[in-house]
Amino acid sequence: MTVTTFDPVSSVSLTASAQKYFASKLVKQPGKLIRLSTKESGCTGFSYVLDIVEAALEGDTVLAFGDVSLAVDSQSAAMLKGTEIDLVREGVNEVVKFKNPNVVAECGCGESFSVS
């Protein structure tokens, strides 16, 4: 497997709360990592996909955040450039939020987005 890298200033980032959340998900799954990708979905075009995986795929960019390794899908990297992943509390729920500077439109329910 070849792991590619790109400019960390413009890459995906995790807030401290998101890093803690993902670390708690991975603690009982040593050696696994989080993989971020997108898929065509919803009324505006794309949705985010987060998976716990055994290994990065060919061409993925792997970023390290303390105990959390995040693989970014090579085909989604351009639309995810500069995205910050956060964990926020909404009422009694905790929700993973994506702050993506490339998004030009989102659907009303927040489940899908489009980029320019």
pLDDT value of residue 36: 95
pLDDT digits over 42-85, tens only? 677 888 899 999 999 999 999 999 999 999 999 999 889 999 99
What order of strands is seen across the sheet that includes strand 61-65?
Answer: 61-65, 68-72, 33-41, 45-53, 113-115, 103-106
Residues with Cβ within 8 Å of 87's Cβ and at least 6 positions away in sequence, in order, are 15, 17, 18, 20, 21, 94, 95, 96, 97
pTM more than 0.85: no
Class in CATH terms, 12-99: mainly beta
pLDDT (0 to 100) of residue 115: 75
User: Which residue type occupies 24?
Assistant: S
The DSSP H or E segment spanning 111 is none
The pLDDT tens digits of the residues spanning 15-24 come to 999 999 999 9
